[in-house]
Amino acid sequence: MAKFYDAITPELRSFMEAQHIFFVATAAENSRINLSPKGMDSLRVLDERTVAYLDLTGSGNETAAHLKADGRITMMFCSFDAAPRILRLYGRGRLILKSDPAWPDMISCFRPLPGARQIVAVDVQSVQTSCGFGVPYYEFKGERPALIDWALKKGEIGLEEYRRRYNRLSIDGLPSDTVNDAAHPQ
């Protein structure tokens, strides 16, 4: 049976930090719902009501566009081992960009990862756990090196060009506002 919490307890924090993968869901009015897997040790629990993850450059930037338009975000963690559990965080997300004054303090919470484009900080409004009995067993074999290798090959200038080309708008045409056009006009 599902149970709700007002905050992230120490036990729930340990559960979240033990997972190798989590999922992020966002949507804006009249847009497609986006659901993305995240990993690579990119999650940090900052306190009982705040989490953040380091978001790497990818094929799109739906989460940023949806947070700008709506702000709602759901994060889900599943246990794939012997102790079944699903944990969801419901909250409001905000972006911390490299140009933001908060960036230096926030980025220091994470290990350096090539391709980092923004930090997504989530103000947690409620936490829910459920049984997870329907979640199958899976064995973690390791992180895929492809995204890091790709980012290293592109370099920071190549990544900025890629983000300007592919991360400016969501698939539904919503602006992400994460590209510094003043520094790099089209």
Domain 3-132+142-166: CATH superfamily is Electron Transport, Fmn-binding Protein; Chain A (2.30.110.10)
Question: Count of alpha carbons within 13 Å of 21, Cβ hemisphere only?
Answer: 15
Question: Count of alpha carbons within 13 Å of 16, Cβ hemisphere only?
Answer: 27
Which residue ranges make up each domain of the chain? 3-132+142-166
Walk along the chain (186 residues) and give the pLDDT tens digit of each residue. 899 999 999 999 999 999 999 999 999 999 999 999 999 999 999 999 999 999 999 999 999 999 999 999 999 999 999 899 999 999 999 999 999 999 999 999 999 999 999 999 999 999 999 999 999 999 999 999 999 999 999 999 999 999 999 999 999 999 998 876 444 443
Helix (H, G, I), strand (E, B) or coil at 85: coil
Kindly report the pTM of this predicted structure: 0.94
User: At residue 122, what are phi and psi to the nearest 5 degrees?
Assistant: -120, 125
**How many other CB atoms are there within 10 angstroms of residue 70's CB atom?**
16
CA-CA distances (angstroms) from residue 91 to 23, 71, 123, 155? 14, 8, 5, 33
